A and B are shown apart, each in its own frame.
Chain A
Amino acid sequence: MDHPLAIQTRGLRKVYGDKVAVEDLTLDVPQGEVFGFLGPNGAGKTTAIKMLLGLVAPTAGQARLLGAPIGDPQTRAAIGFLPEHFRFHEWLTAVEFLDLHAALYGLDPAERRKRIPELLDLVGLSEAAHRRLRGFSKGMLQRIGLAQALLNRPRLVFLDEPTSGLDPLGRRLVRDIIRALRDQGTTVFLNSHLLSEVEITCDRVAFIKAGRVVHLAALDTLVEGLTAVDVRVGGITPDLVAGLARFAKPGSLRADGDRIHLVVDDEEVLPAISQWVLSQGARLYALAPQRPSLEDLFLQVIGSDVRE
């Protein structure tokens, strides 16, 4: 019954008309992992999640969740889902809404009575328990949606942009919940374009671009062997920047006033950078190596032309 892989996909593909939404999705996500699914808007992230949840039928390929083929209703009892732009029956109160979804999960009334206040408390909505969802702010809706996804104590949770619409406090809450889920062995599939979010919470990330996984790595090994450099220069010229780009990993260079940020292969390049700057007659104020961020990597993998 049990399966070491929470998610397993092979060549999953979705074509709408002549538009390819997901080219080829091949992934293994072991149980208990917090998996980040990263990519620019329109890269096929949501379509991929919808295929995994059986909302959209794949054009080709196969996938299994918790060892069972996708779309298997039994398995759904162990899966939680928070859709992107979460919308629902806004004429329900928070409690009615959770009760409906708990009933659909097959929880009996006694368990629902116990579980619902717990979850309202968890997402900080106890005060709003008997208010209609119509009057909820975007952030509150996101919270109640998250509570809905956890009603059944899922073994696998899909969160599609869970922090959209949340203030910093709400984002912190989502992070804490994801950590708690990981601590008790729940697999989390996190769809996000917020890199800092993923950087903090995920064990492993996949970069998806134009419907294809272009990079897949554990987060702590992801940036190994790379160095980010902050350069501050007086008397900057286009030629100088163009010259610096030769040292940088493709797409990683960003210039902002007198500050230039780039990612290089290793620290041995730093003296050469300083030489180049000085040879151009510019004044070098700072040349600081640092650990590259996920954003550096993202820009490098996805390409600098894509903005958040």
Chain B
Amino acid sequence: MLESDLREDTLAPPPPAASLIGEKHEAAPALIGQGVGGVGPILIITRLTFHEARRRRILVLGFVLGLAFLALFSIGVYFIQRDILRSGGIADERLIREVYGFLSMAGLYVVNFLIIMMAALISVDTLSGEIASGTIQTIVTKPLRRWQVVLGKWLGFLAMLSLYLVLMAGGVILAVRILGGYTTPNIMSGLALMVLEGALVLTLSILGGTRLSTLANGVLVFGLYGLAFVGGWVEQIGAAMHNETVIDIGIVSSLIMPSEALWRLASYQMQSPLTRDLGMSPFAALSLPSPAMVIYALIYTAVMLGLAMLLFQRRDL
């Protein structure tokens, strides 16, 4: 049974070994073409990345926690709204708007934190883990190039993050809209900046994974995030004190890791005009990063991604 299987089905047609590869190339030139240098392998890896996140319940956990947060947030908004109505309404419409503006920024601030956590956690072991376990060996010996594996994973995680952001931020924005009738300004540009922020953290985490162990990579990514976070505050305080040197320290930290600067730009976009003028709050920016920071962050992300591909291409597995 086995022998005949081998001969007749599985390994047949018994080729003159020489013709096998030639036949293959003629039969499916497009596929082979795709296999090397095309988008085929990239999309296979992207799909695999989604599949893995689903099977490992990372996404489910992220969404459950996110939904729990949204539920809490909505309940909070609901009770605040009830108090406002019960107190016979605060006379000033504008003040009510500011209350909701503040609430939505608080909600988005949490979402911002969740996005960064997700970006780092879902990707921190994707390369280092596969290198350590050896699963990568059967992947990169297929007819593809290693950079396609990196890009495929990156795209998969970016799609997940974007989806997560839209659901979470959308939930916050909808909650204050439905319950409080407040419309968050500049939603599109604000969310785009937050996606860029997530992409940046994600890219760093993938870059670290090409050479570092999972643990070291996690320390690196959260360390950089912490640097940017503190640097952002240093810059704010410097701006309040009108101290140029302190501001510069903040700017330098933003150049090393632009994530916090992107959040400040995003929050500037989405906060109410009054809060903007008021300045100092956890979600507002006294010293607003230059719009050039967006260009810088885009280039930063592209360079880090390119570097990740290069380092992964060159390492021994």
A residues with a Cβ closer than 8 A to B are: 1-2, 31-32, 50, 53-57, 66, 73-79, 81, 83, 85-89, 91-92, 96, 100-101, 103-108, 118-119, 121-122, 145, 148, 150, 153, 155, 173, 176-177, 180-181, 183-187
Contact = CB atoms under 8 A, between A and B. Distances in A.
Contact of B138 (A92, A101, A181): A101
Given A91-B52, A105-B35, A119-B10, A54 B135 contact: no
Contacts of B44: 100, 103-104
Contact of B20 (A81, A118, A153): A153
Contacts of A106: 28, 31-32, 34-35, 40, 143
Interface in B114-158: 133-135, 137-145
B94 interface: no
B10 A73 contact: no
Interface stretch (B11-19, B73-81, B283-291): B11-19
A71 B18 CA distance: 20
Contacts of A184: 7, 11-12, 14-15, 17
B9 interface: yes
B92 interface: no
B141 A76 contact: yes
Interface in B42-101: 44, 48, 51-52, 55-56
B35 A55 contact: no
Contacts of A76: 141-144
A118 B28 contact: no
A90 to B, nearest CB: 9
Given A180-B3, A183-B14, A184-B12, A56 B317 contact: yes
A88 B141 CA distance: 14
Q: Classify the secondary structure of B's interface with A.
A: helix
Nearest to B130: A89
B143 A54 contact: no
B141 A53 contact: yes
19 contacts: A2-B18, A31-B18, A55-B140, A55-B141, A76-B144, A77-B24, A77-B32, A88-B138, A91-B52, A100-B44, A101-B142, A104-B41, A121-B5, A145-B138, A153-B20, A155-B17, A180-B10, A184-B11, A184-B17
A84 to B, nearest CB: 9
A180 B11 CA distance: 8
A105 B17 contact: no
A68 B110 CA distance: 54
Interface of B: 2-3, 5-7, 9-12, 14-18, 20-22, 24, 28, 31-32, 34-37, 40-41, 44, 48, 51-52, 55-56, 133-135, 137-145, 314, 316-317
Given A1-B22, A184-B12, A177 B6 contact: yes
A81 B136 CA distance: 12
Contact of B316 (A57, A103, A148): A57
Nearest to B21: A78
Given A77-B32, A177-B6, A184-B11, A66 B317 contact: no
A31 B140 CA distance: 24
A54 B133 CA distance: 18
Contacts of A2: 18, 21-22
Interface centre among A104, A119, A122, A187 (most CB of B within 10 A): A104
Contacts of A103: 44
B36 to A, nearest CB: 4
Given A108-B28, A118-B10, A122-B6, A88 B135 contact: yes
A83 B142 contact: no
Nearest to B35: A106
Contact of A105 (B48, B134, B142): B142
A46 to B, nearest CB: 10
Nearest to A106: B35
B138 A176 contact: no
Among all A-B residue pairs, the 9 with the closest Cβ atoms: A185-B17, A180-B6, A106-B35, A91-B55, A104-B142, A184-B14, A77-B143, A73-B36, A56-B316
A145 B135 CA distance: 11
A212 B137 CA distance: 24
Given A55-B141, A76-B143, 15 more contacts: A1-B21, A50-B316, A54-B140, A73-B37, A76-B141, A76-B144, A77-B32, A77-B143, A101-B138, A106-B34, A108-B31, A119-B10, A122-B6, A183-B6, A184-B17
B9 to A, nearest CB: 5
